[in-house]
Amino acid sequence: MSVPNANALAGGAATPGKRWTDADGLHIDVRGLDPPGPLVAILGLIDALAEASFVYVHHDRDPAMLYPELAERGWVAESIAAPAGEVCLKLERVG
């Protein structure tokens, strides 16, 4: 699966976060970014996705401020197993 260019949605500014595709779907790693970098990177990615219904997020903390933004877009998040020191979320489009 190719990752659409979310940068266009951010006014041309480079959106941070490493992205890749695995067998289970699209992943984004926003560890180490200061707020609101993770928020911008994750929302920039899902806003640019026309078809994908799942995104896996690798974070170093619980992104409390992400959830209301996800809800506005019709997405929910589920915490899944992750190595120590990492928070892993499975985002799913439901709306």
Partner 1 sequence: MKSASGMFLAGAGSRLLPPSIPFRFFGAAVACHLLAWLALLVGAEDVPRFAGGLGWPLAALHLITLGVLAMTAIGASLQLLPVATRRGVGAARWPAALWWLYAVGVAMLALGMGIASPRLLAAGAMATIVALAVYAALLARNLVGARGMPVVVAHVWVALAALIVVIVTALSLAGSYIGAPGLDRTTALVLHIAYATCGFVGMLAFGLSHILVPMFALSAASDERKAFASVALAVTALLLVGALAFGIAPRVTGIGAIGAGAAAVVVHVRLMANALATGMRRRLGRSFVLVRIAWALLGVSLVAGLGVLLDAPLDGSSTLLILLLVGGWLLTFLLGILQRIVPFLAAMHAGQRKLPGKRLPPTPSALTADRPLAIHFRCHLAALALLAVAVIADSAWTVRLAAVVGAAGALAFANFFVVALRRMNVTEAR
Binding residues vs partner 1 (CB under 8 A): 9-16, 34-37, 39-40, 43-44, 47, 61-72, 74, 76-79, 82, 87, 89, 92, 94-95
Q: Which is nearer to partner 1, 5 or 78 (by Cβ)?
A: 78
CB of 67 to partner 1, least distance (A): 3
Rounded to an integer, what is the distance from CA 37 to the centroid of its chain? 11
Q: Which is nearer to partner 1, 1 or 94 (by Cβ)?
A: 94
